[in-house]
Structure 1
C-alpha cells in the first residue's frame, strides 16, 4: 500500500483526495495537515512514499515543503498541487526537487495513477505544461543561461558524458514521456528504458527526472 501525506489548507480538497485514493486502491492518506509546518515530523513518523502538497498555504507553503522534504535522507516523492498550470510557484517547486505537479481538476483515475507513477521514480511532467513552464520562464533567465538556471554551454558540455542512446532517452524525458512511452518510441523494453534513465541521472548528477528535463532544456536540446 502506497502511503501518502497530504497537505492542503482546504478541507474539501483533502477530503476529496482522500476518498479518491481510498476508492482507487493501492494508496491511502496516512496523515494530513493544513500547511507544511509539521511536514518533517509527519514524514519522519509515518514514512510516506509520497507527499502531496498544495502550493499556496499559510505559514509554510508548497515550495518550502519541497525543500524540507527533499533535504531528508531517502526522501519520499513530492508532488505539488496547483489550481493553475502556469502558477509561478510551480516552477520554483520543480527547481526545489519536486517530482512533478498536478492540477486540482485532475480526473480521479489520473490522480491515482499519478501517485503510483512517482513512487516508481517517474516524474509527473505533462508535455503541455512542461513546455509552457519553460517558455514562460525562459524570458526571465539571465543571458547565457537556460530556464533551469544552468549556463547553456555548461549544460551542453555535461551531456558529452552520455552515449548516443542515453542522450536520446534524456531528450524524451525532457519531452515529458513516461518510461512506457519512451520504450514504444525507441522500440526497446520498458526495463531497458529504466536502466538508461538511471545511468543518465547518475552521470549528470541530477536527483530526479524533473531536474534532468530542465538540464536538457538548458542545453537547448528540447
Structure 2
C-alpha cells in the first residue's frame, strides 16, 4: 500500500531538499535538455544552477510552495506563481545577472524566450502558474503526483478570482498523465525539436446568475 503523505505549505527551510528534488525531476526532461544544451559539457551544473536560482527568488519573494511529505521527508514540491505575481522572477535584474553568471548568456536567453512564449499562450483571465513541479523519482508511480495535483487545485481554488492552473511540459509521458488529470491544451511552443504544450486545469466556475 502507498503510505499516506501530507501536503502543506513550505518555505525556505526546505530549500536544500527542494533543490535536490527538482533537479532530479527536471534534468532528464526534453525541455531542460534543449534550454540548457544537454549536448554541451556542464549541462548538469547549468540545470542545478537554474533550479537553485529559481528557488532562491521564489522563497525570497515569499511566493507560495506546496510540499508533499512522508513524515519529515520532502517527496514532492510545487512552486506556485499567483496571477498578480507570475512575472516577478524573470523581470528581476539580480536574478538575470545570477543566471548569466551560472547558466551563461545563451541558455539564459533561451529560458527568457521560453518563459515569454508560454506567457503569450495564456488564456485571458487570472490563472495560477506552476513554474516548477516534481515528485522524487523513487516515489513516482505510487499516485503521489495525483495527490499533489489535487491539493494544488484545491489550494488555488480558494482564490475566488482564479480561473484555474496553468503549466507546461515537453515530455510526452507527462503530457498524457496531465490529460488524465483533467488538464487541457491551450497552446504550443516550439523549442527547437521540442513541442512544449501549455495546459490548463480550470478552476471552479462561478454559479450562473438567475435569468441569464
Superposition TM-score, scaled by structure 1 size: 0.30
Higher helix share: 1
Superposition TM-score, scaled by structure 2 size: 0.31
